[in-house]
């Protein structure tokens, strides 16, 4: 809550029981076959994915949201577990399992969570038509209100650019259904990063920034004028040019292209909000995620972003309200509850 207004968070990830998910993942890899999702069935408990298992992980998730002053959150897949590099004959089964886990969490706490779907992205397909069956299932059966996409699902930098016709079936469907697309990097399999722990984070920076450049310079929003896209982590990286430099797109995309506030360094976050402008920023925290390190000055977790943004004196109270509530509610009409 901020000044009496509910804080709405567009950047959250499912808190499924890792043990149960891990067992299924290993079994799929070992047997080289898809495994039906057990979530919601009588077999779920025996596989570590029963209601009691979810109650533990979801309970911890909600407790952290309460601690950070967050009322409601959009949850999608955990990006490093989107596993787009999995064999294409296995990925649809894994995708369905992850989406069922997201739905389970939303069903357990319907006043706190809304879902965003993982898609079985195959960068070698002719286009993204192969993603539509799962997208439709998640919306029609699970009530999901957004879609996650990775610009580079295999982590090999071999996916068509986000301006190419390959993406059009997903763009067209999301525009028709009013579903925001959440752009988030995933795995990064560049061998140069071998010494770096959690090297997927390096992929996030690059792929999200490149997506920002591609989408803003291309004709995607001319062809799909009602499409809404949110790029995570403030757009991946900061711009180093002045606003009227032609290296930056000079198009007015205030109705199409948005960014979340999921950056934990205060100086970085301040600069990102100034560059992107409050009109295009949505509150996002990734709670619980990679922001658990404690700030030396306050002893609070780095992802406790409500007081950080609330304390920015360069923002007016109306601009803070826009970031914390109005923009998320505009993009996800079901998020306010």
Whose tokens are 């799929």? That residue is: 28
Measured in whole angstroms, the distance separating CA 153 from the mean position of its chain's CA atoms is 14
Could you tell me if 145 and 334 are in contact, meaning their C-beta atoms sit under 8 angstroms apart? yes
3-state secondary structure at position 282: strand
pTM value? 0.95
118: which strand partners? none
User: Which residue ranges in the chain fall short of pLDDT 50?
Assistant: none
d(CA 202, CA 185) in angstroms, rounded, equals 9
Tens digit of each residue's pLDDT (9 = 90 or more) over 273-322: 999 999 999 999 999 999 999 999 999 999 999 999 999 999 999 999 99
Q: Where are the domains of the chain?
A: 8-331
For the beta carbon of residue 305, count every other beta carbon within 10 angstroms. Answer: 27
Measured in whole angstroms, the distance separating CA 285 from the mean position of its chain's CA atoms is 11
Could you tell me if 52 and 90 are in contact, meaning their C-beta atoms sit under 8 angstroms apart? no
What pLDDT does 337 receive? 67
d(CA 180, CA 115) in angstroms, rounded, equals 12
CATH class for domain 8-331? alpha beta
- Element of type H or E holding 258: strand 257-260
Could you tell me if 53 and 39 are in contact, meaning their C-beta atoms sit under 8 angstroms apart? no
What pLDDT does 274 receive? 98
What pLDDT does 86 receive? 84
Distances (CA, A) of 55 to 15, 52, 146, 200: 10, 5, 24, 29
Q: What are phi and psi of 124, to 5 degrees?
A: -95, -5
d(CA 131, CA 62) in angstroms, rounded, equals 30
Tokens linked to 203: 């992929």
Q: Where are the alpha helices (DSSP H) in 259-326?
A: 266-276, 305-310, 317-321
Could you tell me if 80 and 17 are in contact, meaning their C-beta atoms sit under 8 angstroms apart? no
């Amino acid at each position: 809550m901020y000044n009496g207004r509910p804080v709405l968070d567009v950047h959250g990830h499912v808190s499924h029981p890792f043990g149960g998910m891990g067992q299924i993942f290993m079994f799929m890899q070992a047997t080289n076959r898809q495994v039906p999702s057990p979530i919601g069935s009588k077999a779920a408990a025996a596989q570590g994915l029963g209601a009691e298992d979810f109650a533990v992980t979801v309970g911890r998730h909600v407790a952290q949201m309460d601690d950070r002053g967050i009322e409601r959150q959009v949850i999608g897949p955990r990006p490093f577990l989107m596993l787009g590099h999995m064999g294409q004959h296995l990925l649809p089964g894994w995708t369905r399992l992850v989406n069922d886990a997201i739905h389970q969490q939303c069903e357990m706490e319907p006043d706190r969570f809304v879902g965003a779907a993982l898609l079985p992205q195959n960068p070698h397909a002719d286009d993204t038509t192969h993603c539509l069956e799962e997208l439709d299932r998640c919306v029609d059966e699970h009530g999901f209100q957004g879609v996650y996409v990775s610009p580079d699902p295999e982590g090999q930098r071999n996916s068509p650019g986000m301006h190419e016709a390959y993406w059009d079936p997903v763009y067209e469907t999301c525009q028709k259904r009013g579903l925001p697309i959440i752009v988030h990097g995933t795995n990064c399999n560049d061998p140069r990063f071998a010494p770096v722990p959690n090297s997927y984070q390096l992929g996030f920076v690059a792929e999200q920034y490149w997506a920002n450049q591609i989408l803003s310079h291309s004709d995607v929003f001319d062809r799909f004028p009602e499409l809404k896209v949110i790029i995570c982590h403030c757009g991946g990286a900061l711009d180093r040019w002045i606003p009227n430099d032609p290296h930056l797109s000079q198009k007015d995309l205030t109705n199409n292209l948005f960014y979340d506030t999921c950056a934990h360094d205060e100086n970085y976050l301040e600069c990102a909000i100034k560059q992107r402008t409050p009109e295009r920023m949505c509150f996002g925290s990734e709670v619980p995620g990679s922001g658990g390190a404690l700030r030396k000055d306050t002893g609070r977790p780095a992802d406790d972003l409500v007081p950080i943004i609330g304390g920015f004196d360069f923002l007016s109270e109306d601009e803070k309200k826009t970031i914390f509530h109005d923009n998320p509610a505009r993009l996800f009409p079901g998020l306010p509850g």
